[in-house]
Amino acid sequence: MKKKEAILVLLVGLAAAWATHAASPAPASCPAPVPSTARCYTGQDGAGAFYWIAIPRDWNKVLVMHAHGGPETGPPALERSRKDLERWAVTVNAGYAWAGSTYRRGGYGVTMAAEDTERLRGLFVAHFGAPRRTLLHGQSYGGAVASKAAELYAQVDGKPGPYDGVLLTNGVLGGGNSAYEFRLDLRVVYQYVCRNHPKPEEPQYPLWMGLPKDSKLTRAELAERVKACTGVGMPAARRSPEQAARLKTILSVVKIPERTLVGHLNWATWLFQDLAQDRLGGRNPFGNVGVVYQGSVDDAALNAGVLRYAADPQAQGALASDSRPTGRTTLPTLTLHAIHDPTAFVELESAYRAIRESAGTDDRLVQSFSDESEHSYLSEPEYPALFAALVDWIDKGDKPTPASLATRCAAFEPTFNDGGKDRCRFKPDYRSPPLESRVPVR
C-alpha cells in the first residue's frame, strides 16, 4: 500500500472510529427557515464537536457537508451549528441533506476542522445510510477547510474517496500565510497612526502576537479606541478633521472598507493571539521586513515609522503545512466569490487558481464571481444553482462555465428569491486580480 493511500485509510478509519463512539444523533425541532417537514438532529461527536443535521422530506440523496467560517476563538457550542443551519437553510429547501460541525475546539486549525468535517460525514453515514453523492461546501475560513479536506480525502490510485465535489463560497483560499498577512499590515499601520493598541502607558509587545495572554482588553474597549482615533462608530459629520485624516490613511494603505476596520482589527488581535501563541508556540508566521506601504500623505514617513517584524521560518512552515492547499485533488471544484467581498478579498481566488495550475488540476476548477459586497451570505438563488451545476458535472460530465452558471441561476430565481429581493448577480467575464495588487509583496 502506497504512503498516500495508507494515510487516507488511516484518516477515514479514525473518523469512523470516532463516529462509532459518538452518541446517536438526537431528533430535534428544525429551526426556521428550515422546512418543518424536514428531519433534524443534533449531537456531539466522539471528539467533542457539536453538530446539526437536516434531511428534507423529499431528499435527493445528495449530502452537503458544510465547513463554517471563522474560526471561533472560544470553545465550541451547539448554537454555532444551529445558526449555520439557519443561514444555509436554502440547501435543505433545495432538496439536499445538510450536516455541519462546530469543530472540536475553538481557534485556528484548518486540518483539524477538515478532520472534524469528515468525522461528521462518517457519523451521518453510520446512522442514515450512504448518500448517492456527497459534496463539500466551505464558506469563508471554511473554504480553506473544504479545500484541505478535498485533498486529504481525495481519490487514491483510482479508488473513490468519500467526497464527489467541492463548492467554495467567499473562501479564505491559498493558505493562512498569504491570506492573513494584510492583518499584520493593519496592525502596524494602525499603531503608527493611532498609537493606542497598545497605548503608550501599557506594556508593549510585538504586534504579530495579537495580544498578551494576561491582557484584559475587550472587544468593546478596542472599538472605543478605534472610535477615539478615527471616529469609526460615530456619524462621519461628527468626526474631527484629524480623525477623518487618520481613518483615510489606514483605509487607503491597507485597502479595506471602513465597515470592516473594527472586525479586521479583532481578527488581528484575538485570532493572532490564538494562532501565534497557542498554535505556533509563540512564534511569528507573518513578516513585513522590506514591505513598502503606499497610500498615505507621506509614505516615506510611514515606511520609516511602522514597526517591522521578521517571520519565523518554522512558524511559516507550520502554518503552511496546516492551511495551504497543494492543489492535488481530482474533485470537481466550483467557487463563487463576491467581487467586493470586504472580508476575504476576491484576489484570494487568484492565489488559489495559481496553486491549482501549479498542481496541474486547474481543469477541475471553475471560478465564478458576483457583483456583490457581502461576505457571509450571497444572493439566495445562487447556491442551489451552484449545487445543481456541481452535481451535473459529477454525474454527467457537464463542466459548467461562468456563463452557464449565470443562466442556470436565473432559472432558480422564481423559487429562491427571498420574497423577490434576491437576484442572480453573476459576472461571467470577471477575472480576479492577483493578490499582490491588494496586499504588498513580501
Instruction: Write the pLDDT tens digit of every residue in 304-337.
Output: 999 999 999 999 999 999 999 999 999 999 999 9
Averaged pLDDT for residues 177-184: 97
Whether 120 contacts 51, CB under 8 Å: yes
CB contact at 8 A, 172 and 317: no
Residue with cell 434531511: 55
Indicate whether 174 pLDDT > 60: yes
Per the CB < 8 A criterion, the answer to whether 141 and 84 are in contact is no
Give the DSSP letter string of 349-362.
HHHHHHHHHHHT-G
The pLDDT, as a whole number, for residue 417 is: 78
Cell digits of residue 309: 517584524
Mean pLDDT of 56-82: 96
185 pLDDT more than 50: yes
Mean pLDDT of 407-420: 87
pLDDT at position 156: 60
- Looking at residue 44, its pLDDT comes to 97
What span, in angstroms and rounded, lies between the C-alpha atoms of 284 and 218? 23
Kindly report, residue by residue over 386-403, the tens digit of the pLDDT: 999 999 999 999 999 999
pLDDT tens digit sequence for 271-294: 999 999 999 999 999 999 999 999
Is the pLDDT score of 4 beyond 60? no
pLDDT at 23: 87
Unique residue bearing C-alpha cell 452557464: 404
Name the pLDDT band for 102 (thresholds 50, 70, 90): very high
Average pLDDT, the chain: 94
Domains and CATH numbers, the chain: 3-175+329-437 (3.40.50.1820), 180-319 (no CATH)
Least confident of 87-101, 156-170, 247-261, 398-412: 156-170
Q: How would residue 7 be classed by pLDDT, with cut points 50, 70 and 90?
A: very low
* H or E segment to which residue 84 belongs: helix 78-87
Of the pLDDT bands very low, low, confident and very high (cuts 50, 70, 90), residue 3 is very low
DSSP 337-389: EETT-SSS-TTHHHHHHHHHHHHT-GGGEEEEEES---SS---TTHHHHHHHH
* pLDDT at position 14 over 80: no
297 vs 189: CA distance, rounded Å = 13
In the chain, pLDDT over 70 holds for what percent of residues?
93
Does the predicted TM-score (pTM) go above 0.85?
A: yes
Q: What is the mean pLDDT of residues 370-397?
A: 97
Q: Confidence band (pLDDT; 50, 70, 90) for 159?
A: confident
Percent pLDDT > 90 in the chain is 91
- Dihedral of alpha carbons 362, 150, 101, 105, sign: negative
- In this model, does residue 418 exceed pLDDT 90? no
Check: CB of residue 343 under 8 Å from CB of residue 140: yes
Q: Which is nearest to 7 in space by CA: 152, 198, 140?
A: 152
Residue 8: is its pLDDT beyond 90? Answer: no
Q: Which pLDDT band, with edges at 50, 70 and 90, does 157 fall under?
A: low
pLDDT at position 273 is: 98
Task: Report residue 411 as a C-alpha cell.
Answer: 432559472
Greater pLDDT, 76 or 1: 76
User: Is the pLDDT confidence value at 19 over 60?
Assistant: no
As to burial, measured by CB atoms within 10 angstroms (0-12 exposed, 13-18 middle, 19+ buried), residue 381 is buried
Mean pLDDT of 414-441: 90
